[in-house]
Amino acid sequence: MKTVANSITTELGAVAPAGSLRNLGLVLEAAILQSDEANGALIDKQRETEQERERWGKARVDRRIIERLRERRLDAWTNDAARAEQREMDETAARTRPVPGWST
């Protein structure tokens, strides 16, 4: 496998031309710069991901709270409706009961 370092010198102890060394240095600097930029972008994205994860977690909690409130409201409405229906049935039953002393 041929690498950049191997392309500059092919023999052990051979002297590389100054221009080749300068080019290698520039390539190395550019690679380091790109690596640093990519690492910075990665850190930014990881930070954004964590913020979004926290927002998602809060939204899940909020949604569950709303679901519980809806369930409680439905239960209360169902109980109120059942009580109202029972009152009506009791009133109807009270009106249809024969009153002692009355005959029909």
Q: Interior CA angle at 68 toward 62 and 73, to 5°?
A: 125
Number of domains in the chain: 1
The candidate with the shortest Cα–Cα distance to 18, out of 8, 27, 28, is 8
Average pLDDT over residues 89-102: 78
Is position 10 within any domain?
no
Is position 37 within any domain?
yes
- Residues of the domain holding 66: 17-91
Is position 6 within any domain?
no
Distances 72 to 28, 68, 76, 96 between C-alpha atoms, Å: 65, 6, 6, 36
Is position 4 within any domain?
no
Is position 47 within any domain?
yes
pTM for this entry? 0.51
pLDDT in tens, 60-78: 999 999 999 999 999 999 9
pLDDT in tens, 6-57: 555 555 667 778 888 899 999 999 999 999 999 999 999 999 999 999 999 9
